[in-house]
Structures are given as structure tokens and as C-alpha cells.
Amino acid sequence: MTRATRPCVLVFAGLDPSGGAGMQADIEAIGGVGAHALPIITALTVQDNDRVFAVNPVDPAILRHQAQVLADKIPIAAVKIGIVGNRANAAEIADLIRELRQRKPELPVVLDTVLGSGHGYALSDGGPERALAPLISLATLITPNLLEATRLCPDAVGADEQAQHLLSAGSENVLIKGGHGEGSSVTNRWFAKGIAEAWNWPRLPGEFHGSGCTLASAIAGLLAKGLAMYDALERGQSFCQEALSSSYAIAPGQRMPNRRCVLRD
């Protein structure tokens, strides 16, 4: 009997005790699109479904040891990065990605540029933008929301200029998410060399905890399965929209995306 196998995504992300964002969101979304997550915790956070109260970065030596043991045995089909916790962790992750690309030069790396919580708590020590600097140039795809794009590109005006700034910094693809915008629809814009595409999605009522993690991880899982970037972006957004449409509450405040929905082929 042939046993089923799944491609593996090496995930660097924080632990959210509420289970809405961070690593739990990543594991559920990657599993939801048919890949398998290998979780490496970068930071232990103190938060509920609305607010972050503290972020405690993990020792970079522990992070590296965990990742190295996995990479030495298990084929890595993609890497997904959420909060890094501090500059030392970012540098360690960057070194590991360079080593992995010696084995697999086209290894997809999805960087979700988490700079702060929805209520403003910085999710790294010092300047979050500075902490992410070693990783932007290694990213196959970077997925900032409107607020993060503004912080990463303070001298750029509008999504087009922001995307060009990030592309010139080394990222191959940029998806600027429109969830923090206004109006009845959410517009997500994809930029790459010679490419500018946009998707419009109905804006759903309420607020959601971990929507960005859900989208970036779904895309990473689909890239791990071998999908082309356009297809991974389109199907990842469809998965995220369905997860938000079927969200549920655990307390007053932000709702939890239902990442146990199944991606339809």
C-alpha cells in the first residue's frame, strides 16, 4: 500500500496563547491546503484575541538547533516567516535560508511582515522594520498590509511606490493586502517584475484575529505543493476568504478564522 506524503513548510512564528494568530494559525492554514507545517517558535507572546501585552523572543541558538535538526532529515519545500522577535533571530533565520537554498536554489520563502498587533504593540524588540531587514532580500514573496507597507516604505506614496521599494530591496514578489482600507471591498495587489495584478474581495463585517497569518501560510503551503505564484496567490486568497466567512467567536472582540475549511481543487 502506498502511503500518502505531504510537502513540508518550515515555519518561523510566535506562539499566540489565544490560538487565533501566530503558529497555530500557520499550522492550521498549511494543513488546510494540503501541506505539513514544521513549527519553530520565535517568540512567546502574552495576548488574547484582541491585544498583545508582551513578546518574549526565543534564544536564537535554540531556534537554529530546532530548525537544523528538521532540515537535516526532512525535505523542506517552502519556508514561511511570521514575527521574528528580534534582529538576532532574523539573522539566524536568514543564514539557515541561505544554507537551504544551497540544496534547493528555488526554495520559496514567504515573509509575512508582522510589525505590530492590530492595537499597536510592536512584535519585536527595537525597530521591527530593522529586525526584518536581513529577510526581505531573501523573500520570494512579502505580504505587508497597508499599515506595514507604510512603515516599511516611509518615503513611498501609494501601493505602487511601496511595492517598487520592496522589490528593489530584493523581494521577488509583493502582495499588499487591503484589509485595513475602506469601502465595501478589500483589494489585494500583487507586484513583481513586469507584473501588477489585483483581486477584489467582499469586505466582511467584524474584525478577525490572524487573517494575515492565514493568508501567508496558505500561500506558502500551496507554493510547497508546486503551484505557480499566481495560482498560489489566487487559491490562497480564496482559502482565506472562506476561513473568514466561516469564522467563529471565543469571546467578545476579534473572531477566529475557521482554517479547518477544506480548499477545493
Q: How many other CB atoms are there within 10 angstroms of residue 73's CB atom?
A: 6
| Per-position DSSP letters for 47-95, written without gaps between them | E-SS-EEEEEEPPHHHHHHHHHHHHHHS-EEEEEE---BSHHHHHHHHH
pLDDT in tens, 204-259: 888 888 899 999 999 999 999 999 999 999 999 999 999 998 888 999 988 989 88
Domains of the chain: 8-245 (3.40.1190.20)
pLDDT in tens, 229-244: 999 999 999 999 999 9
C-alpha cell at 1: 500500500
C-alpha cell at 135: 529577510
pLDDT at 216: 97
| 240 contact partners, CB below 8 Å, separation of at least 6 | 29, 211, 214, 215, 218, 257
pLDDT in tens, 166-194: 999 899 999 999 876 666 788 999 999 98
Please state, for a pLDDT cut of 90, what percent of the chain lies above it: 64
- Cα radius of gyration rounded to whole Å, the chain: 17
Q: How many other CB atoms are there within 10 angstroms of residue 209's CB atom?
A: 26
C-alpha cell at 51: 491585544
122 against 202, higher pLDDT? 202
pLDDT at 2: 61
